[in-house]
């Protein structure tokens, strides 16, 4: 992974030179972007303040048809510490070079794989403080992706990756993972799609739909995954709706989700009911999010209801 980091840094340094050498008019000046998400969270009987995410990225153009992005993440919860004695995690997220030609786009490096709709949405534009349990996190991996787009009509994506996840320098089993996703737009504002993922020992399917209106929006997703070695099937779905109570300031959110991690266990399914609100001070660049989710387990009820207040600053 050290070589990948070095390559991105070198790319950022030489990008302006490449642009001038080719005589293009595209700006090759690297841009610094990022965001912070400090949070207060109460789960059951416990509560704490922590830094959910702090991400910093360098991105820019090399030519009119090639761009790059290198992003790192710091956080204080939710991932192993680096180094182990430190309470702070530091890891890479996006490390890619992207090339475009008319309706085609190709990406190589470390990127979000084309599968779940919610995992492809940036956490800066997500309406809730956490993704649905069946989605859990944005999936990233190292490999290559191709995309073909017919504007406002059709999107087709396919990717071949190592299948080991992000920040992994090797592929121990020497087997690849494969992704495919297609989204159609039958009418303006409505996207309907499906996706497939295939690993050496498991497969997954996804059905997704999203509608965006002037003041309200809705999306839903179903994911089913099967481990062929253990014959365990995991399934989950969510349905989310939002309404702009005031067009520029307040958005109301409601979500229902259900997750069953194993079809072999008859008591592990749970359902979550969430109500939330976003207050936009300056759009998604500066906002406050708050939501409360009640969980109902299939058997023994746990004290795991979650309330979150989160601030976001993006630049």
Domains, the chain, with CATH or none: 2-314 (2.40.160.10)
For residue 194, how far is the Cα from the chain centroid? Answer: 17
What are the φ and ψ backbone dihedral angles of 156, each rounded to 5 degrees? -125, 130
Beta pairing partners, 36: 54, 313
pLDDT digits (tens, 9 = 90+) for 65-120: 999 999 999 877 655 545 555 566 788 999 999 999 999 999 999 999 999 999 99
Q: What is the pLDDT of residue 284?
A: 97
User: From CA 48, how far away is CA 68, in angstroms rounded?
Assistant: 37
Whole-model pTM? 0.86
Parts of the chain with a pLDDT under 50 = 1-22, 81
DSSP E strands, 188-300: 190-198, 202-212, 216-227, 232-246, 250-260, 270-282, 286-297
Q: What is the pLDDT of residue 262?
A: 96
Q: What is the pLDDT of residue 138?
A: 84
Two structure tokens written together for 179: 């992704």
Are 168 and 162 contacting, i.e. CB atoms less than 8 angstroms apart? yes
User: From CA 2, how far away is CA 90, in angstroms rounded?
Assistant: 14
Two structure tokens written together for 145: 């992706």
DSSP-assigned letter for residue 139? -
């Amino acid at each position: 992974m050290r070589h990948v980091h070095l390559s991105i840094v070198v790319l950022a340094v030489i990008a302006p030179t490449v642009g001038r050498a080719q005589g293009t008019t595209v700006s090759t000046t690297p841009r610094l972007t990022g965001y912070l998400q400090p949070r207060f969270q109460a789960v059951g009987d416990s509560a704490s303040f922590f830094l959910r995410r702090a991400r910093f990225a360098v991105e820019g153009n090399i030519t009119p048809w090639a761009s790059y992005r290198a992003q790192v993440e710091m956080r204080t919860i939710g991932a192993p510490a680096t180094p182990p004695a430190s309470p702070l995690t530091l890891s890479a997220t996006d490390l890619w070079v992207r090339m475009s030609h008319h309706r085609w786009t190709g990406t190589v490096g470390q990127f979000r794989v084309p599968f779940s709709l919610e995992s492809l949405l940036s956490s800066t534009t997500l309406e809730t403080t956490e993704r649905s349990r069946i989605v859990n996190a944005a999936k990233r991996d190292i490999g290559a992706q191709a995309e073909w787009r017919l504007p406002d009509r059709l999107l087709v994506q396919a990717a071949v990756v190592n299948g080991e996840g992000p920040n992994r320098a090797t592929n121990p089993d020497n087997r690849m993972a494969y992704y495919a996703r297609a989204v159609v737009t039958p009418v303006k504002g409505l996207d309907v799609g499906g996706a497939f993922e295939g690993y050496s020992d498991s497969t997954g399917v996804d059905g997704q739909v999203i509608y965006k209106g002037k003041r309200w929006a809705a999306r839903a997703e179903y994911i089913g995954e099967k481990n062929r070695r253990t014959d365990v099937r995991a399934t989950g779905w969510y349905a989310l709706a939002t309404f702009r109570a005031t067009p520029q300031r307040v958005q109301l959110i409601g979500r229902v989700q259900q997750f069953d991690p194993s079809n072999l266990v008859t008591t592990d399914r749970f359902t979550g009911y969430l109500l939330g609100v976003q207050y936009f001070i300056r759009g998604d660049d500066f906002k406050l999010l708050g939501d409360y989710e009640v969980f109902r387990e299939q058997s023994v009820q746990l004290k795991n209801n979650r309330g979150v207040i989160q601030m976001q600053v993006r630049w």
